[in-house]
Amino acid sequence: MIILLKYKYVEEKNKIERDEAAYRLVSLLYFILVINN
């Protein structure tokens, strides 16, 4: 049971990190577009 909860926690943590990375990537692309225009 504890192992399952731990796995779930790690999965959520990884998901949050992926979302943050995606957000940074989108922000960077937007920033580049603003500079080019």
Q: How many domains does the chain have?
A: 1
* Residue range 1-37, pLDDT digits in tens: 678 888 888 899 999 999 999 999 999 999 999 999 8
Q: How far apart are CA 8 and CA 18, in angstroms?
A: 15
Q: How far apart are CA 21 and CA 17, in angstroms?
A: 6
SS3 annotation, 9-26: HHHHHHHHHHHHHHHHHH
Q: Is the pTM value of this prediction over 0.75?
A: no
Structural domain range at position 13 = 1-37
